[in-house]
Chains A and B, each alone.
Chain A
């Protein structure tokens, strides 16, 4: 009995506040927009019994999904979200790997401090970290002022409100997610392997490519997924740093819902976003599973 209560309480909570909302989104994505409250049809009317249920189901269709394929705003937004997420994941890897490497090769007594320095920004507000770049990247911002003063450029660079600013924002805010898994892979590595490779005639660079890089592969893959998956649905970064030309699906969904008040289309956008995300999520799970099995 006690075991039943223990299972039932969190189970019930998640059913009501996670699964049911989900089914509602799915249902509304198959409904039609209407000038009513709530602004969609059909409504499920259980008082009519079977008849009500039948009219309810016959009112559902895939019209919104067909609409999404005909209006190129949406598929452009999906493609561009994937592209932005992919590019920024690679950039984060390029910035994050040397940091993780430097941490893993640092003297032992330094490591806890370095680790804390990477984790600390994660505890500070995400919104504030994104906001901090607005003052730097603006046309009359810190970066342009410094570059003009150094004489590197003559006219201010337009970075703010472009995709470049979005890349910078994603790399900056998701950097800890990339550094930590790579660090933990590198830290576990046996360094005598490098010495062995060098003794056997490898150059330092060759030893890195042939030994260190493959051994940190699990960390790299995990880090890439941890950046890529949330970046696809990102909303805050494109709306603060991106411009009108920055198309990202999280932003489109938000605007569709709040500005256009088209709930059925917003729900259909959400359903497709989820379908897109399922593939990288499954791949990520597989990689984690393999890594765990490899560790024994």
Chain B
């Protein structure tokens, strides 16, 4: 049985304190009565009230959510297709360029992606707004989705697909009935990743948006440029709470699914 050594406990404690203290402080100060960061003037939820009355923030939140849902859904479809092409389609003309275009956006600085997309939208005369942000977000997040999905595709047993084809499935049926259920966890985590990337993005959205659409990160950025603001503390706390709940739920669901699968496998073995 392995135990913690004092050195490891210290490094882990310090490390996690560094990772979590700033966010904990943010949450604590969001309940501060005073507008000043450092002066504790008693517990209050008034900044949450101010936040919920602020129409601009609510509008921005709505725009951000719309963009994230659309872009992550399209990105998941396109990214899964791209992963399938990379892993299964074999050789075709232009394959090197294709895989280059999948991996390049992952390392591309956001300022360059944003700038180049903006110049494209201006060049073709597309009005900037929700549509252009969705196009931009879909493009970079489909690459993340395809990386996540292709790692799952390479690791799974191909003979299952071949069996389905031998038993008379069309390629599409084989994909829908065999491949998709097996890669589903990766597709779902790809969607979640794309969704979070979209919610989070400031730089690319700033380049590709117009006056008609302001996303939450753009709003937050312009509000905090000049310094700490209690409304933003409240907003951050809400966002941190949502993410924490989401991650905890997701981990419970996957754990349950794993337990259920293990039980099914055991039952199947007993029946043999």
Contact = CB atoms under 8 A, between A and B. Distances in A.
Contacts of B104: 18
B247 A127 contact: no
Interface in A60-111: 95-96, 98-99, 101-103, 105-108, 110
Contacts of A28: 119
25 contacts: A6-B84, A7-B98, A11-B94, A14-B98, A15-B101, A18-B104, A38-B123, A98-B14, A101-B8, A102-B15, A107-B4, A108-B2, A116-B247, A129-B23, A132-B26, A135-B26, A138-B37, A142-B25, A142-B37, A236-B202, A240-B224, A250-B109, A257-B207, A263-B119, A274-B112
B62 to A, nearest CB: 17
Contact of A240 (B122, B225, B240): B225
Given A106-B4, A233-B112, A132 B142 contact: no
A127 B109 contact: no
Contacts of B1: 107
Contact of A10 (B82, B105, B108, B246): B82
A11 B81 CA distance: 10
A172 B30 CA distance: 21
B221 A127 contact: yes
Contacts of B240: 124, 128
Interface in B126-152: 135-136, 138-139, 142, 146
B26 A128 contact: yes
A127 B200 contact: yes
A213 interface: no
A14 B139 contact: yes
Contact of A21 (B38, B119, B142, B244): B119
Q: Which 5 A-B pairs have the closest CB atoms?
A: A233-B109, A21-B116, A98-B11, A99-B15, A132-B22
A257 B116 CA distance: 12
Contacts of B4: 106-107, 110
B23 A132 contact: yes
Given A10-B146, A107-B2, A131-B220, 7 more contacts: A7-B98, A21-B116, A116-B247, A118-B19, A120-B244, A121-B20, A236-B202
A24 B8 CA distance: 52
A247 interface: no
Contacts of B139: 13-14, 17-18
The secondary-structure label for the interface of chain A is: helix
Contacts of B89: 3, 6-7
Given A107-B2, A124-B243, A257 B202 contact: no
B78 A9 contact: yes
A127 B239 CA distance: 11
A18 B120 CA distance: 10
A114 interface: yes
A257 to B, nearest CB: 6
B110 interface: yes
Contacts of B111: 233, 235, 250, 253-254, 270, 273
B268 interface: no
Interface string B84-126: 1100010010100110011011011111100111011011000
Nearest to B224: A131
A117 B19 contact: yes
Contacts, number: 227
Interface string B63-87: 0000000000000001101101100
Contacts of B107: 229-230, 277, 281
B98 A11 contact: yes
B11 A25 contact: no
B119 to A, nearest CB: 5
A257 B38 contact: no
A47 interface: no
B183 to A, nearest CB: 15
A179 B15 CA distance: 10
Contact of A13 (B5, B25, B142, B203): B142
Given A6-B85, A105-B2, A114 B38 contact: no
Contacts of B115: 25, 253, 257, 266-267, 270
B196 interface: yes
A17 B135 contact: yes
A3 B88 CA distance: 10
Contacts of A239: 225
A140 B34 CA distance: 14
B217 interface: yes
Nearest to A122: B196
Contacts of A14: 82, 98, 101-102, 139, 142
A136 B239 contact: no
Contact of B38 (A110, A120, A142): A142
A102 B236 contact: no
Nearest to B223: A131
B29 interface: yes
B251 to A, nearest CB: 6
Contacts of B213: none
Interface in B175-215: 196, 199-200, 202-203, 206-207
A236 B15 contact: no
